[in-house]
Structure 1
Amino acid sequence: MEPLLTQLRASAEPTRLRLLALCARGAFCVSEFCAILGQSQPRLSRHLKLLVEAGLLERLPEGANAYFQLADEAGLARALLARLPEDDATIAADRRAAARIAAERARVASESFRAHGADWDEMRALGLPAPAIEAALVRLMPKRVARAVDIGTGTGKLLDVLAPRADAVLGLDASREMLALARARLAERNLANASVRLADMYRLPLPDAGFDLATLQMVLHYADDPVAALAEAARVLKPDGLLVVIDLAPHERGDLLRGLAHRWPGFDDAAIAGWMGEAGCAPLPPVEVAGPLAVRLWPARRMAAAAAMLPETTLQF
């Protein structure tokens, strides 16, 4: 009874209810909450601390900042928010301010990328047929999954595809600028079941066997150690969970190695199958999508025996 009472007490305050309503639509940091709600940082920090301690919000450190989003166990908060009237003037004003914050995030992130000469949308830069690739991924997926994770999510474009087919979807990336763009995308599309966080693909801040689906799209060709990246992706999959690697087939485009810092000139089926096997996954037949550069989707199932041998972990999601 006490945890429920704690959550009820934490929710029963106007500012904290507004914070919960905002976090139901995306992740924000304290300075952004200050701009949206027009309240001081110390005051909002105290409110956020209470909500985190009650298990209603999750705090995600990211460099000097920390972002806050609804916790997985925040069913009570979702039930309360569902009872808020859609035409509530305060909540509507908060949402308009949050939309402006999301737009500013995207602008700043885009300017940062342009200033450094990086093209953050690699699929578009290479002229690859993104709709055909996404359709091929959907055909490989079950109709519905509980939890999905996109490793190296970049601007979060693949989350648009995964979110309608998952109860919860998480995008991970090692670039704060990419995550700023991804958060703006999620806010614009109101993907309430999707979130992003900072993470290294070689050390995912996730528990073992917590996901039904893991994807790595146009990520592996940047990896110094593809075997380690695949092993970490497999670790977070449940037994029989689906791992899908989407990347370039072997090519002779040396300009990609020089200009886009690719570490690998594409991958062949044998190499991917061998690495999947080392990671404890059973490879399934690959799918090829034609284009200026051939793209392949390599699916695999997490083997139950391999997953059962995983050591226990204390990491939280």
Structure 2
Amino acid sequence: MSAAADLVEVLRAAGEITRLRLLALLADGEQSVKDLTEILGQSQPRVSRHLKLLADAGLIHRNAEGAWAYYGLAAGGAGGDLARWLIGRLSVDDPEHQRDLERLKAVRDAQVGQAAAYFAKVAESWDLLRSLHVSEDAVEAAILAAVGTRKVDLLVDLGTGTGRMLELLAGHYKRAIGIDTSREMIAIARAKLASAAIGHAQVRLGDIADLDLSAGRADLIIIHQVLHYFDDPGRMLSMARRALKPGGEMLIVDFAPHGLEFLRTHHAHRRLGLADTQMAGWARAADLSVADLKSFPPDSSIAEGLTVCLWRLVDARKDQTQ
């Protein structure tokens, strides 16, 4: 087909009331078919059919998570640009649009409630871990300092958990993807991103040790308190390296070596901290180098606490040319 014919197909896909409503809803973040069906008050097959037309035309993207699928506006291209242009011209006072937004808020409130219930189950163990190491504010300030004033094209957060890194660094990327193996954590992260109106970040259910590279390679990869859950952190680092652009960087936050065996037996930690020499060796094997290391010892009042480390890894080939 010619370029003109392609454009006609895109316009035809967008030129229908329900599909315009879907585009307007997806402008506020990714949504599942189930949620969109509830918001629009239409049958699942009908909503799915509309979404397929929009996806085929390149106006939106689809991300499958097991039996579920999530949809969002296309990140770029003619379809994504047209979708945003159309949404920008919808009247905010339109009664139907207002009803859709009210239903969207109700759906998100329910998601936040589910997230709160999950946090209530794990709060005790999370609070215990937080009490063993330095304030997270200090580590987050160091992460922001490491990123500096840059705004990267793509940030990938491996083991995103509740999406805190996506939230913290929202002003430093054009697009971001958080990946986690926990469906509960992904639900929490989605709710948090929506609540903070962070529409340029998405989260994905996926195996961070076997990455899908279809979303593109990252300028910056964050691995925050993740590697100690792996028997072989070096292999995990090498796998993550495949998702990094040439000249890209990684920021890794984890614990220094410690002797708190209960973290292995009760909290699924596979490694009791990571040594500087280990990190340097794993980095070399992944064709990376340690450009910077900052350590954050626990408060002196904690008898047996955890030291948190922040490593900045860079492309070894880039580092050698400087």
- Normalised TM-score (structure 2): 0.88
Give the structure 2 partner of residue 314 of structure 1: none
Tell whether 2:153 aligns with 1:150: no
Equivalent in the alignment of 1:28: 31
Are the equivalent residues in 2 in contact too, given 1:148–1:162 (CA < 8 A)? no
> Is the contact between residue 258 and residue 306 of structure 2 (CA under 8 Å) also seen in structure 1?
yes
Change (3 A) 1:167 1:259: same
Q: Could you tell me whether the CA contact under 8 Å between 2:133 and 2:307 is conserved in 1?
A: no
Find the residue that maps to 1:214 and give its secondary structure.
Answer: strand
- The list of structure 1 runs, each at least 4 consecutive aligned residues, that deviate by more than 3 angstroms after superposition, is 112-128, 303-306
Give 1:204's aligned residue: 211
**Which has the greater radius of gyration?**
2
State the 1:85 CA deviation. 2.6
Counterpart selection for 1:16 from 16, 19, 22: 19
Aligned alpha-carbon RMSD (Å): 2.2
Candidates 310, 314, 317, aligned match of 1:301: 314
**AA paired with 1:77?**
A
2:114 is aligned to: 108
Structure 2: tracts of 5 or more residues without a match: 299-304
Tell me by how many angstroms 1:107 deviates: 2.2
Match of 2:7 in 1: 4
Number of aligned positions between the proteins: 306
Q: Check if 1:68 corresponds to 2:68.
A: no
Structure 1 letter corresponding to 2:155 = A
Number of the residue aligned with 2:51: 48
1:176 and 2:183 are equivalent in the alignment:
yes
C-alpha separation between the residues in 2 aligned to 1:8 and 1:122? Answer: 55
1:92 CA drift (Å): 2.6
Map residues 182-201 of structure 1 onto 2, 5 A cutoff: 182-201=189-208
Mark the CA change 1:239 to 1:208 in structure 2 (over 3 Å): closer, same or farther. Answer: farther
Give the TM-score, by structure 1 length: 0.89
Amino acid of the structure 1 residue aligned with 2:231: D
Residue pairs, 1:235-250, within 5 angstroms:
235-250=242-257
From 11, 17, 42, the equivalent of 1:39 is 42
Match of 1:98 in 2: 104
1:269 pairs with 2:269:
no
Do the aligned partners of residues 232 and 208 (structure 1) sit closer, same or farther apart at CA in structure 2, a change above 3 Å counting? Answer: farther
The structure-2 alpha-carbon separation of the partners of 1:179 and 1:118, relative to structure 1 and needing over 3 Å to count, comes to farther
Deviation at 1:120, TM superposition (A): 6.2
Aligned residue identity for 2:246: P
Aligned to 2:60: 57
How far apart, CA to CA, are the structure 1 residues paired with 2:70 and 2:90?
24
2:221 aligns with 214
Output the CA distance in 2 between the equivalents of 1:36 and 1:120.
34
1:167 paired with 2:174, answer yes
| 61 and 160 in structure 1: CA distance in 2 versus 1, 3 angstrom threshold | same
CA shift, 1:235, in A, is: 1.0
